[in-house]
């Protein structure tokens, strides 16, 4: 999708700080971090949101979660804790209509998140 920011990043049209690049997914540092560690894990395939996932995406979703765990370990936030966030739809706070999982950590998270 040529108008999708994340598809353009995956295609190499827009630069990003890549921390993981696997055949089915990519993990990038957020350009507007909300915590010391703020990484987005997203599939290379355009899927609008987690609401679009089906049983056929089970392995992809597992790979996304494994990548998030790897990011947490690599950044050293796994010991103290971190937050995984998947915003779904505009009312859920999703601003880019491409499935992505936020990995946030390196500071105390508060609740409710907002």
Whether 45 is in a domain gets the answer yes
Whether 35 is in a domain gets the answer yes
From the list 70, 98, 100, 102, the catalytic residue is: 100
- Name every residue whose Cβ is closer than 8 Å to that of residue 38 and which is 6 or more positions away in sequence: 29, 30, 102, 103, 104
**Catalytic residue status for 46:** no
Name the CA dihedral angle for 61, 46, 10, 39, rounded to a multiple of 10 degrees: -40
In which residue are the tokens 């979703």 written?
A: 61
Q: With a cut of 90, say whether residue 71 has pLDDT above it.
A: yes
Whether 36 is in a domain gets the answer yes
**CATH code, domain carrying 42:** 3.30.428.10
Domain count, the chain: 1
pLDDT tens-digit map of 6-54: 999 999 999 999 999 999 999 999 999 999 999 999 999 999 999 999 9
Structural domain containing residue 82: 5-105
């Amino acid at each position: 999708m040529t108008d999708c920011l994340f598809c353009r990043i995956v295609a190499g049209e827009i630069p990003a700080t890549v921390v993981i690049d696997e055949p089915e997914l990519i993990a990038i540092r957020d350009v507007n971090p909300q915590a010391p560690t703020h990484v987005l894990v997203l599939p290379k395939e355009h899927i609008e949101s987690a609401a679009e996932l089906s049983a056929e995406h089970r392995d992809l979703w597992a790979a996304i979660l494994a990548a998030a765990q790897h990011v947490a370990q690599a950044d050293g936030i796994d010991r103290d804790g971190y937050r995984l966030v998947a915003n779904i739809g505009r009312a859920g706070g999703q601003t880019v209509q491409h499935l992505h999982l936020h990995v946030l950590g390196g500071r105390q998270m508060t609740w409710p998140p907002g």
